[in-house]
Structure 1
Amino acid sequence: MARPVTNAAFDRLLTAAGYGNAHAAFARQLNLAGREQGAWRYDAASVYWWLRGRRPGEHVQAAMAKTLARKLGRTVSASELGFGVPDDTGTCAYPASVDAAIDATEQIWVTLAKHLDRQVNGTFDRGKALQAGLGWRYDLPDETVSRHGCQQVTSTDVQSLYTLADRFTDLDRRHGSGSPHTRAVMADLLVRQVGPMLRGTYTDAVGRDLMRAAATLAGQLAFMSYDAGEHSMAQHHVTLGLRLAKAADDRLYGAHLLANLATQAVFLGNAREAARLVEAAIDGAGRAPAAVLTRLHATAATAYGQAGERRACQLSLDKAERALDRMDAEPGPRWVGYFTPAHLAGAALKCLGDLHLYPQALRYAADALVLGSQNPRTRALHTSLVALTHARAGDTDAASNWSRKLMEDVSGVQSVRLRQRLRELTTTLRPHQSSPEVNEVMDALAPGPAAI
């Protein structure tokens, strides 16, 4: 059964222009109107969904208005089309096509760049997260991503995007998510530099590398948004990154992004959904290098640990540790180089602590802190986790000692995740506040959440 039309304004314009029963004809004329921006492939199905609430990008709306104006013999403004102006940047559905992914990516970047210093609200949508995982895993691959637009794109152009991604990644790891302005600046660069490239001219080979680079940038902006507590924005960018990774035919990076989505779900307490997401990531990664498998199985362990599934958690930890032993021989893609034995130890510390296996968890404490100088946020997160695990185990002296060390690590790091960890620590220590040592630590931690 066909869904009811929700965009009555657009429906009326189509009918008045003679396209009421000729949606395919309108799509063909629209493709012609937008040919300067690339090889559009809109069809009757595209029109169907536009009539039922899907919002095309602003550049597509401009071409729609132009097409309708030619038939109606009068000026048609984009505001008459009934799509409105997006007031938020909530979660999006997994795009069905590369063109739809490019449209959605441009739209979210433009919206974010226009709202400097605005905190984006919204919630994590578990249903859409699972749909994105299924779409990435089971949709058919794209036959080609070549395109003909205004700007010629070369391999050298694409390599510059990886350099851009590395810079933002380093900034994020050293200082945390930063202010909303930091993410808006990144979005502005994406609008001005990456958007035109996605709509340019490129071969299939260059196009797939471009999609991979764009997925990398979307994934980085997603993680920064997650660390800042902007969960709908983070989910939106992971979803788009997954679709771009699919277009790039890069199953390993797609699996990495899906594992990031699972990590976000764990943080929000959605353990069951997180487990399903990371299971799809492991399945989709296939015969992956050891470094990638280590990361994926570590993420699975955290999901199972939070869900209380002790056996599945231990099995995942065992798989991660076996893969870790092979990492030197199978290093994997460059982007997974960040994942070190300390990251696996941190995952073990968390999942075993969630299972209340505190002595076992604390065996990983020392290894979790063997981190390079480029990872101050991870060091602060792991140090706070060690303190929290001691506190939950009832050892307030050790928890107090680690909390003092923690105060050395939090300076200069802005992270909602770290702020949440500190809240958990102070909540756990509060019943023991009569102890002078605990009281001293509580006073030291009190201003921390506001400053981080």
Structure 2
Amino acid sequence: MQTPKTPNRQLTEWLARTGLSNAELARRVKSAAQQAGHPQVLPDATAVRRWLSGNNPRRPVPGILADVISDALGYRVTSYELGLGDSPAEDRSLLYNRDWLVTVATVADLGRADVDRRRFLAAAPFAAVAATGPSRDWLLNVLDQEPEPGPRVRLEDVTAVKNMFGAFQKMDIFQGGGSGRLLLAQYMNIHVYPLLGRSQPDDVRRALCEAAAEQTYLLGWMAYDSGEHGTAQRYLIQSLRLAEESQNAPLGAHVLAGMADQATLLGHPDEGLRLAQSGRQGLRGTSAAALADLWALEARAHAALGDKTAATRAVAQSEAAAETIDHEREPEWALFIDGAYLHGEHAMTLRDTGDHAGAAEHARLSIDHARQQQRARRGALSQAALASAHLQRRDLEQAHAAGLRTIALAGQVKSSRALEAVADLGRRMEPFGKSRLVADFAERARVLTAAA
């Protein structure tokens, strides 16, 4: 005789908090599964009743359930909290854990899963609500910290890690996120993450956490640039926790800038706005470069939300902060926050507000800086912004010329963002109908995508 299953009271209680019916939960799980590339997941109300009665669904359903219920509640809930077994690596890495040893284990698991190219991680979705708790906890803890006087610790082992960061950051800037990421993850797994769990003096620990946070952020940024947004989000959240442990407020604010950029890009500008503002509040004026970046990303979010006045004001604030940047006094991770980057971001903001003249001006400035530095990815993004500005004033010939330059530059780097800029430009050309220029651009874009 079979032993009767124990009802899943945890899942029952969490479902009650959402106010969703069994049928509605099934519908949302099915929709989320389709978006995440799991067409075989087709639950109905009967399936939900079985889960509530104690039948544990197979993967990837527990993770999808956690995402759906988290979205309904507005904060992160794990599959473990839903009574669906141990929280897997992709679920744990979305959490900002106060326990330091849990954080160390989580980031190490994440790095190993990335190096092994485990399927569950590559398919992990972006969860907009997952950033709410981490950004809040980071801000509250940073505001309680008192910065220590004196120079930062420069110990030999930490210096070696920081030197590696510089090499990998250049690889990302000049070759795109698809170049070197797995090599960096392997380096972190072997040489850096194992050091975090060892007993160390406080000054060594803070310096090491700072170096690890920088590298973990870079892993997240590389994954973001490769279009692996679920992986990127998990690295960024763990980087934020490491940054807090290092007591480096500008670095934490920089991580929030990356999270804001990702949220806005993926269609959550309200979340992107909140993350950028949290970063500014925690920054406390200690890095002009980080401040300029956060204002630029706040402007992008305002533009996506349709608030032209706020977007224009934020661009002006970013430009004012940029005028005070002294890169000799800024950390190495801030070196990319320069004319090529900031003018490029402003170009896209003004494009989205309909200011095609302003967008074209900033795009050209960004393109000039990027050309001098041989930064193909940034050049591609800004050429696409310039082409879009031309389209807004109905100049298809100039748009086509800038579009071809976008394609040429995008082909020089391994970057899904550069490819998406090409695809976005193709969509913006569609209203011009069957023009030979539109057809020519579409064919060249097709060849680029096929080669990529």
Shorter-normalised TM-score: what interval? Answer: 0.7 to 0.9
2:142 aligned with 1:166, yes or no?
A: no
Which residue of the partner structure matches residue 130 of structure 2? Answer: 128
CA shift in 2, pair 1:406/1:5, >3 Å = closer
Asked if 2 retains the 8 angstrom alpha-carbon contact of 1:353 and 1:361, the reply is: yes
User: Offset at 1:141?
Assistant: 8.3
Cα distance in 2 for partners of 1:169, 1:375 equals: 13
Cα distance in 2 for partners of 1:167, 1:117 equals: 28
Which residue of the partner structure matches residue 307 of structure 1? Answer: 305
Gaps of 5+ in 1: 7-50, 55-81, 144-152
Asked if 1 retains the 8 angstrom alpha-carbon contact of 2:269 and 2:302, the reply is: yes
Which residue of the partner structure matches residue 324 of structure 1? Answer: 322
The percent of aligned pairs where both chains have the same amino acid is 25
Cα distance in 2 for partners of 1:154, 1:288 equals: 19
Asked if 2 retains the 8 angstrom alpha-carbon contact of 1:291 and 1:330, the reply is: no
What are the within-5 Å matches in structure 2 for residues 39-438 of structure 1?
A: 53=80, 86=88, 88=90, 92-115=94-117, 120-139=122-141, 155-178=155-178, 182-328=180-326, 331-369=329-367, 370-371=369-370, 372-438=372-438
Residues 22-73 of structure 1 deviation map (CA, whole Å, 9 limit, x = unaligned): xxxxxxxxxxxxxxxxxxxxxxxxxxxxx9927xxxxxxxxxxxxxxxxxxx
Cα distance in 1 for partners of 2:254, 2:241 equals: 13
User: Offset at 1:414?
Assistant: 1.6
Cα distance in 2 for partners of 1:205, 1:432 equals: 61
SS at match of 1:177: coil
Which residue of the partner structure matches residue 47 of structure 1? Answer: none
Cα distance in 2 for partners of 1:117, 1:92 equals: 17
Cα distance in 1 for partners of 2:451, 2:264 equals: 24
Asked if 2 retains the 8 angstrom alpha-carbon contact of 1:349 and 1:364, the reply is: yes
Asked if 2 retains the 8 angstrom alpha-carbon contact of 1:301 and 1:316, the reply is: yes
User: Offset at 1:343?
Assistant: 1.5
- Comparing 326-335 with 306-315, greater Cα deviation is found at 326-335
Cα distance in 2 for partners of 1:393, 1:90 equals: 48
Number of aligned pairs?
A: 370
Gaps of 5+ in 2: 1-7, 12-77, 146-152
Asked if 1 retains the 8 angstrom alpha-carbon contact of 2:350 and 2:356, the reply is: yes
Residues 287-339 of structure 1 deviation map (CA, whole Å, 9 limit, x = unaligned): 22322211111111111111111121111111111112222498432321211
User: Offset at 1:90?
Assistant: 7.5
SS at match of 2:122: coil
One-letter identity of the residue aligned with 2:102: A
Asked if 1 retains the 8 angstrom alpha-carbon contact of 2:377 and 2:413, the reply is: yes
- Comparing 233-242 with 316-325, greater Cα deviation is found at 316-325
Cα distance in 2 for partners of 1:379, 1:154 equals: 35
Cα distance in 1 for partners of 2:384, 2:394 equals: 15
Residues 89-146 of structure 1 deviation map (CA, whole Å, 9 limit, x = unaligned): 7851111132221121111112222237997012221111121110111137899xxx
Which residue of the partner structure matches residue 13 of structure 1? Answer: none
User: Offset at 1:352?
Assistant: 1.0
User: Offset at 1:419?
Assistant: 1.6
CA shift in 2, pair 1:308/1:199, >3 Å = same
CA shift in 2, pair 1:441/1:211, >3 Å = same
SS at match of 1:287: coil
CA shift in 2, pair 1:117/1:96, >3 Å = closer
User: Offset at 1:439?
Assistant: 2.6
User: Offset at 1:387?
Assistant: 1.3
Asked if 2 retains the 8 angstrom alpha-carbon contact of 1:271 and 1:306, the reply is: yes
Residues 404-436 of structure 1 deviation map (CA, whole Å, 9 limit, x = unaligned): 222331223121111211111111213325333
CA shift in 2, pair 1:209/1:334, >3 Å = same
Which residue of the partner structure matches residue 71 of structure 2? Answer: none
Greater relative contact order structure (CA < 8 Å, 6+ sep): 1
CA shift in 2, pair 1:196/1:154, >3 Å = farther
SS at match of 1:96: coil
Asked if 1 retains the 8 angstrom alpha-carbon contact of 2:216 and 2:236, the reply is: yes
CA shift in 2, pair 1:309/1:418, >3 Å = same
Cα distance in 2 for partners of 1:334, 1:140 equals: 21
Asked if 1 retains the 8 angstrom alpha-carbon contact of 2:250 and 2:287, the reply is: no
One-letter identity of the residue aligned with 2:348: K
Cα distance in 2 for partners of 1:373, 1:117 equals: 37
Which residue of the partner structure matches residue 439 of structure 2? Answer: 439
CA shift in 2, pair 1:406/1:119, >3 Å = farther
One-letter identity of the residue aligned with 2:390: H
Please give the root-mean-square deviation of Cα atoms over the aligned residues, in Å. Answer: 2.9
User: Offset at 1:345?
Assistant: 1.1
Residues 207-253 of structure 1 deviation map (CA, whole Å, 9 limit, x = unaligned): 00000001011100000111111111111111000000000000000
Asked if 1 retains the 8 angstrom alpha-carbon contact of 2:89 and 2:109, the reply is: no
Cα distance in 2 for partners of 1:104, 1:217 equals: 15
SS at match of 2:80: coil
One-letter identity of the residue aligned with 1:211: C
Residues 236-284 of structure 1 deviation map (CA, whole Å, 9 limit, x = unaligned): 1110000000000000000000010000011101111100010000000
CA shift in 2, pair 1:289/1:189, >3 Å = closer
SS at match of 1:338: coil
Cα distance in 1 for partners of 2:143, 2:282 equals: 13
Cα distance in 1 for partners of 2:284, 2:144 equals: 19
Asked if 2 retains the 8 angstrom alpha-carbon contact of 1:227 and 1:415, the reply is: yes
